């Protein structure tokens, strides 16, 4: 994090070296501070989200589609919600809090066993396909209920999102990150034996599918941000679909997205039900300017500084196309701030925090820290990270 405080006279481009810190510990400290600062607000914030009004509808839809009869098509669910609806943080909590493994096992396995007993033709084909030893009918008739909570895995297209969303959910549940709620990204994970809600990048789940094609350690898979249609997400559509079919009701797939070709996806998942949720957007004023292609970074910095010098409170996001441009924007910002200072102008404090995928996780987490009082945060970041 680069902090440039013109009032304190900090030299631009200079900062003390930062010791390496455990990102999970840092995020836990941030969560505890946030809870102390806003006691009881998490519940009110959750209830204010547009998706909260659809909680019972979503839970009932999922429960109604838990069962797959032997000769019927497997069932899936799609939840579409506009930006700001709260689907990414709330749908996993709805599922975790209101659906249990007993719902999955009892409803699916009892119907399967009853149908197995009454239908001789199906019993014969099931033994041929699964093998008598693999059928485990007695276990299906009397399922054990040792686990009282589901194991959920939720995918995110970017590791920044997986970390920050897991942090948010842990905060809402008053839990330390890495216990009930955790995350796993490439070369880093924050999970434990108690973790039941796990946020991962889509690449991590693809790797888990290669190791266990049935995803046996999960009860529910939620593929989030499906509209982005990344390579890994498209692969997961097929892999998880087949895993749901093979596990016969023991695994459930929920697809959540902001904008999606609903009819096409519903057909692919056997005409599954869809719930649409309104979002919570804010008015945006769009102003266009012309500039030469090679000067777009410089003009972006000028626009950010102009807002900083003339507008009221509020942080600034600068969308760029690569990490080189992010670093260039930071350097330009320092140079122009120093130039303004040398001209004798009074410049308010500014906190400059770049953000792009090549950064370490603990460095990315700094972009989400609270802005100090009487200071404005300016974040030049790569558009794919946002």
Distance CA 173, CA 130 (A): 41
What gap in Å lies between CA 386 and CA 374, rounded to an integer?
25
Tell me what pLDDT residue 27 has: 46
The alpha carbon of 268 is separated from its chain's Cα centroid by a whole number of angstroms, namely 23
- List of E strands, 178-308: 181-185, 188-190, 197-201, 220-223, 252-257, 274-277
Q: ∠ CA(340), CA(343), CA(346), 5° rounding?
A: 60
- What is the reported pLDDT for 18? 38
Return the percent helix, strand and coil in the chain, to nearest 5: 45, 15, 35
Structure tokens at 121: 């033709």
Regions of the chain where pLDDT drops below 70: 1-40, 66-75, 104-147, 382-386
Q: Closest by alpha carbon to 219, among 153, 148, 301, 133?
A: 153
pLDDT at 35: 44
120-130 vs 101-118: helix crossing angle, rounded to 10: 120
Domains (range + CATH), the chain: 2-12+283-382 (3.40.50.300), 41-100+149-277 (3.40.50.300)
pLDDT given at position 1: 35
Q: What is the rounded CA–CA span in Å between residue 216 and residue 247? A: 9
**What is the reported pLDDT for 9?**
36
DSSP string, 219-250: SEEEE--GGG--HHHHHHHHHHHHHHHHHTTS
What is the structure's pLDDT at 372?
A: 85
Q: What is the pLDDT of residues 301-317, one digit of tens each?
A: 999 999 998 888 888 88
């Amino acid at each position: 994090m680069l902090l440039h405080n013109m009032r304190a006279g900090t030299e631009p481009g200079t900062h003390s070296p930062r010791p390496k810190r455990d990102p999970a510990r840092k995020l836990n400290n941030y969560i505890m501070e946030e809870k102390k600062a806003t006691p009881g607000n998490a519940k009110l914030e959750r209830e204010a989200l547009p998706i909260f009004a659809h909680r019972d509808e979503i839970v009932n839809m999922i429960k109604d589609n838990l069962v797959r009869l032997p000769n019927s098509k497997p069932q899936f669910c799609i939840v579409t919600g506009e930006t700001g609806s709260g689907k990414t943080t709330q749908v996993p909590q709805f599922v975790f809090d209101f659906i249990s493994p007993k719902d999955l096992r009892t409803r699916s396995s009892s119907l399967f066993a009853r149908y197995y007993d009454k239908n001789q033709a199906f019993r014969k084909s099931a033994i041929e396909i699964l093998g008598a030893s693999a059928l485990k009918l007695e276990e299906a008739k009397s399922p054990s209920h040792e686990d009282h909570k589901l194991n959920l895995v939720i995918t995110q297209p970017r590791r920044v999102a997986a970390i920050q969303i897991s942090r948010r959910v842990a905060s809402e549940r008053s839990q330390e990150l890495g216990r009930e709620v955790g995350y796993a990204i490439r070369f880093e994970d924050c999970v434990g034996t108690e973790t039941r809600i796990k946020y991962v990048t889509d690449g991590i789940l693809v790797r888990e599918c290669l190791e266990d094609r049935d995803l046996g350690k999960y009860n529910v898979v939620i593929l989030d941000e499906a509209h982005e249609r990344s390579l890994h997400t498209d692969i997961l559509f097929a892999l998880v679909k087949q895993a749901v079919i093979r596990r016969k009701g023991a695994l459930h797939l929920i697809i959540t997205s902001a904008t999606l070709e609903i009819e096409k996806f519903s057909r692919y998942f056997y005409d599954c039900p869809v719930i649409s949720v309104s979002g919570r957007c804010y008015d945006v004023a769009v102003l266009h300017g012309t500039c030469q292609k090679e000067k777009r970074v410089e003009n972006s910095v000028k626009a950010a500084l102009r807002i900083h010098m003339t507008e009221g409170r509020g942080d600034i996001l600068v969308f760029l196309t690569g990490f080189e441009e992010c670093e260039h924007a930071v350097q330009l910002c320092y140079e122009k701030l120093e130039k303004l200072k040398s001209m004798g102008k009074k410049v308010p404090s500014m906190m400059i925090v770049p953000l792009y995928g090549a950064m370490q996780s603990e460095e990315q987490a700094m972009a989400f820290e609270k802005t100090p009082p009487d200071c404005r945060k300016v974040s030049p970041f790569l558009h794919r990270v946002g």
